[in-house]
């Protein structure tokens, strides 16, 4: 199939894109990498009156250092650049590792950070990594920039805090803890994960453990976090926390995996991610 008719616009700035959104609220779609939107257009599951191509807004492609060891990332940063950029690998290695697992090379070369976050697929890697890193998202609208914590951005299955007249402009990542781990299980390389876990751990006992593919959004596995934070960070800690991870999972079963199997994967992947995080913390 082919898309239903629409008007195409390619603004030169993010502000121009916001003006277009505001002029036709609820009837406009934003095109970044197109990896999720184009199939939906072709199947006529979405029928926008206006398609706004963000690729002319070059300020949305920034990868900048932030004070105190953090990062500011524009929404148009490609997955491949997240995985390869030296500044991302230095200042947010968990995010770089998560980006390596996104789809196939062709998808990583076109897909964008903002597109993945705004689409909010519960099995996507980047939302989980940014929740584990306690990132803040900048939503640009007619009234200016609105800052939303990653924990408050994801509202449910393919649902976010974005208003109809806002675009996701940037992501701020604080300086990460030294301990981090990431893992997922997929049927084949490049497939969406059946389940995955992103974890961060610091020397003060703060832990963030996030599961993806195990609920209708990326979720913090609080019981596992509590056990990881209670210490000590010894050889037994990852297994203790892993056994607790299933308590915070609410996966759906489908033809690829049952709910019970996804819960089991969450326990195994939590143990693996925390073992990696603890090893990096001790190094």
Which tokens in the block code for residue 106? 């062709």
Place of tokens 């297994």: 239
Q: Backbone phi, then psi, for 89, in 5-degree steps?
A: -65, -30
Side-by-side strand order, sheet with 179-186: 179-186, 193-201, 207-212, 219-220
Q: How far apart are CA 112 and CA 213, in angstroms?
A: 20
Place of tokens 């001790």: 282
DSSP state string for 2-62: -PPP-EEE--SSHHHHHHHHHHSTTSEEEESS-TTHHHHHHTTS---SEEEEGGG-GGGG-
Closest CA to 35 of 143, 115, 90, 136: 115
Q: How far apart are CA 143 and CA 3, in angstroms?
A: 32
Q: How many whole angstroms from its chain centre is CA 78?
A: 13
Place of tokens 């006529």: 44
How much is the pLDDT for 6? 95
- pLDDT for 70-94, tens place per residue? 999 999 999 999 999 999 999 999 9
Q: For the chain, list the domains and their CATH numbers.
A: 7-56 (3.30.43.10), 58-173 (3.30.465.10), 179-282 (3.30.390.50)
In angstroms, the Cα distances linking 113 to 6, 79, 235, 252, 256 are 25, 6, 35, 26, 26
Which tokens in the block code for residue 4? 């239903």
Decide: helix, strand or coil at residue 63. Answer: strand
Give the residues of the chain that fall short of pLDDT 50: none
Q: How far apart are CA 18 and CA 23, in angstroms?
A: 9
How much is the pLDDT for 205? 84
- pLDDT for 12-60, tens place per residue? 999 999 999 999 888 999 999 999 999 999 999 999 999 999 999 999 9
How much is the pLDDT for 260? 97
Please give the radius of gyration of the chain, using alpha carbons only, rounded to the nearest integer.
19
Q: Backbone phi, then psi, for 221, in 5-degree steps?
A: -90, 85
Q: How far apart are CA 228 and CA 249, in angstroms?
A: 17
How much is the pLDDT for 283? 82
């Amino acid at each position: 199939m082919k898309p239903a008719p629409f008007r195409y616009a390619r603004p030169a700035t993010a502000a121009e894109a916001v003006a277009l959104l505001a002029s036709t609220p609820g009837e406009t779609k934003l095109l970044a990498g197109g990896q999720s939107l184009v199939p939906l257009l072709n199947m006529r599951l979405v029928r926008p009156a206006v398609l706004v191509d963000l690729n002319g807004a070059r300020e949305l492609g920034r990868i900048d250092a932030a004070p105190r060891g953090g990062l500011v990332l524009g929404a148009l940063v490609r997955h491949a650049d997240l995985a390869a950029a030296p500044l991302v690998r230095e200042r947010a290695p968990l995010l770089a590792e998560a980006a390596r697992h996104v789809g196939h090379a062709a998808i990583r070369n076109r897909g964008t950070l903002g597109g993945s976050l705004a689409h909010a697929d519960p099995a996507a890697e980047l939302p989980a990594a940014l929740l584990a890193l306690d990132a803040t998202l900048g939503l640009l609208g007619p009234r200016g920039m609105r800052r939303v914590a990653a924990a408050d951005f994801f509202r449910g299955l393919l649902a976010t805090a974005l208003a109809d007249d806002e675009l996701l402009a940037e992501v701020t990542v604080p300086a990460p803890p030294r301990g981090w781990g990431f893992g997922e299980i997929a049927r084949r390389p490049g497939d969406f994960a059946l389940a995955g876990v992103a974890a961060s751990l610091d020397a003060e006992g703060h832990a963030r453990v996030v599961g993806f593919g195990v609920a209708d959004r990326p979720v913090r596995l609080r019981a596992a976090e509590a056990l990881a934070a209670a210490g000590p960070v010894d050889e037994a800690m990852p297994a203790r926390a892993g056994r607790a991870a299933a308590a915070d999972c609410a996966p759906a079963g489908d033809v690829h995996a049952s709910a019970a199997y996804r819960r089991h994967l969450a326990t195994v992947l939590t143990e693996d991610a925390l073992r990696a995080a603890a090893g990096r913390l001790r190094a």
